[in-house]
Amino acid sequence: MLEGIYRVGMLVGPFAALPAFWASARGRRKLSERFGAWEPPAIGQERPLWFHGASFGEVNGLLPIIRALGKLEEHLPVLLSATSVTGLDVGSRVSQSIRLLPFDHPLWIKRALAKVSPRAFIFGETEVWPMLLDELTKRCVPCVLVNGRISDRAFPRYMRWKSFLEPRLKRLARICVSGEEARERFMALGAEAHQIVITGNAKYDLTPALTDRVAIQLFREQFFPDDRPVIVLGSLRPGEEQEWFPVLRSILEEHPLLGVIVAPRHKERFSFFSEQLAAHRISFRRRSDFTTRNAGNESVILLDTLGELASVYSFADAGFVGGTLRDFGGHNPLEPAAHGAAVVLGPYFQNAGEVVARLRSERAVFELSGQESLRRLLLLIIGRDPSISEVRARGLEVWKSMQGATERVVAEIRQAAPSAILVSGRGIGSTQR
Distance from first CA to last CA of the chain, Å, rounded? 53
The domain segmentation of the chain, as residue ranges, is 45-205+404-421, 213-401
What pLDDT digit, counting tens, does each position of 302-339 carry?
Answer: 999 988 999 999 999 999 999 999 999 899 999 999 99
Domains 45-205+404-421 and 213-401 share a fold: yes
Give the three-class secondary structure for 28: helix
* DSSP secondary structure of 245-307: HHHHHHHHHH-TT-EEEEEESSGGGHHHHHHHHHHTT---EEGGG--TT---S-SEEE--SSS
225 pLDDT tier (thresholds 50, 70, 90): confident
CATH 3.40.50.2000 fits 213-401, yes or no: yes
427 pLDDT tier (thresholds 50, 70, 90): very low
Cβ pair 148, 174 in contact under 8 A:
no
At the topology level, CATH places domain 45-205+404-421 in: Rossmann fold (3.40.50)
**Residue 272 CB contacts under 8 Å (≥ 6 apart), including other chains:** 238, 264
What pLDDT digit, counting tens, does each position of 110-140 carry?
Answer: 999 999 999 999 999 888 999 999 999 999 9
Query: 178 vs 232, which has greater pLDDT?
Result: 232
**Distances in whole angstroms, Cα of residue 104 to Cα of each of 58, 127, 128, 212:** 18, 11, 10, 46
Supply the pLDDT for residue 93.
83
73 pLDDT tier (thresholds 50, 70, 90): confident
What pLDDT digit, counting tens, does each position of 356-396 carry?
Answer: 999 999 999 999 999 999 999 999 999 999 999 999 999 99
